[in-house]
Amino acid sequence: KMVLSLRKIKKTHNYGTEQAIPVLKGIDLELPAGKVVAIVAPSGAGKSTLLHIAGLLDDEYGGEVHLSGQDMSRANDAARTAARRQEIGFIYQFHHLLPEFSALENIVLPQLANGTPRRQAIDKAMDLLSRVGVADRASHRPAALSGGQQQRVAFCRALANSPRLLLADEPTGNLDPATSEQVFSALMGLVRETGMAALIATHNMELAARMDRTIRLDAGRISAKAS
Ligand code: ADP
Ligand code: ADP
């Protein structure tokens, strides 16, 4: 069964105005559990727009988004918010960690918000931090961590509630090549261990080549697939 199905997704920013910008012109994508798919496209091609729609953060688009077999394009706000919290993890180019909380707390808080008991949330956070090699920095605030460490903590936070789907927008875009490699390996390790599905936008062809499949966005359509 598919974790994510995008069907004929169309999007025009500023729809119905003179500044209308057609960005996506009919995107079809099937993402099964356990698969990692790269979206490669030049800047401005619509990767973020597509990830927003897949992440149920946009409700003005054409086509359908199915999450675990359910058509979310027709769901109300409450249902979309619940699905987003429980089933989707997000990672961005910049980590967006809460600066006044420790690395550990940044991973515990979303679990508490989701109803997980504190003790269990802490165990989960420590387990995730160990897997990406940052356990010894658990009590540090983000500002005391290197860029690569911050981004690994952000991965742990994204995975804190065990989502079925991980959406990543240029997750290593802000890092130097060596750190980028370290962070990407950590990400792939976590994704493989948990068996989730992941959609990862990147400019980096070398990283894309290590995923299961690459999708290219060109002029609002998928132009080629390589497996
Ligand atoms: P067509 O019939 O030409 O395929 P659509 O009516 O499906 O066109 O949509 C055209 C564009 O407007 C698409 O990019 C779609 O995502 C976008 N769109 C459709 N409905 C809305 C809406 N309610 N608000 C904003 N954008 C929309
Ligand atoms: P990418 O992530 O591939 O760089 P984006 O999805 O951010 O591309 O943007 C695709 C296109 O849509 C660009 O032309 C961008 O200027 C435009 N765009 C993105 N967001 C908005 C918005 N909120 N309003 C109007 N245009 C937008």
d(CA 23, CA 65): 17
Whether the CB of 21 sits within 6 Å of ligand 2: yes
Residue 124: what residue type? K
d(CA 181, CA 172): 8
Q: Best of 18, 19, 23 to mutate for ligand 2, by most ligand atoms within 8 A of CB? A: 23
Tokens coding 89: 């993890």
Whether the CB of 61 sits within 6 Å of ligand 1: yes
Percent of the chain with pLDDT over 90: 76
ipTM > 0.95, yes or no: no
Residue 98: its pLDDT value, please?
A: 97
- Rounded to the nearest integer, the mean pLDDT of the chain is 93
**pLDDT at 183 > cutoff 90:** no
Atom 18 of ligand 1 has which residue's CA nearest to it? 61
d(CA 144, CA 134): 12
223: Cβ contacts below 8 Å, ≥ 6 apart: 216, 217
Q: Which residue has the higher pLDDT, 218 or 88?
A: 88
Residue 225: its pLDDT value, please?
A: 53
Whether the CB of 14 sits within 6 Å of ligand 2: yes
Confidence of residue 224 (pLDDT cuts 50, 70, 90): low
Whether the CB of 15 sits within 6 Å of ligand 1: yes
Confidence of residue 4 (pLDDT cuts 50, 70, 90): very high
Tokens coding 110: 């979303």
pLDDT tens-digit map of 126-157: 999 998 899 999 999 999 999 999 999 999 99
Whether the CB of 41 sits within 6 Å of ligand 2: yes
Atom of ligand 1 nearest to the CA of 12: 14
Residue 93: its pLDDT value, please?
A: 87
Residue 194: its pLDDT value, please?
A: 86
Atom 27 of ligand 2 has which residue's CA nearest to it? 13
Relative to the alpha carbon of 93, which ligand is closest? 2
Average of pLDDT values for 176-191?
Answer: 88
Whether the CB of 23 sits within 6 Å of ligand 2: yes
Whether the CB of 17 sits within 6 Å of ligand 2: no
Residue 17: its pLDDT value, please?
A: 93
Average of pLDDT values for 51-67?
Answer: 96
Beta bridge partners of 9: 27
**pLDDT at 227 > cutoff 90:** no
Q: Which residue has the higher pLDDT, 94 or 67?
A: 67
d(CA 151, CA 175): 9
Q: Best of 19, 25, 27, 60 to mutate for ligand 1, by most ligand atoms within 8 A of CB? A: 60
pLDDT tens-digit map of 153-166: 999 999 999 999 99
Q: Which residue has the higher pLDDT, 7 or 186?
A: 7
Atom 6 of ligand 2 has which residue's CA nearest to it? 46
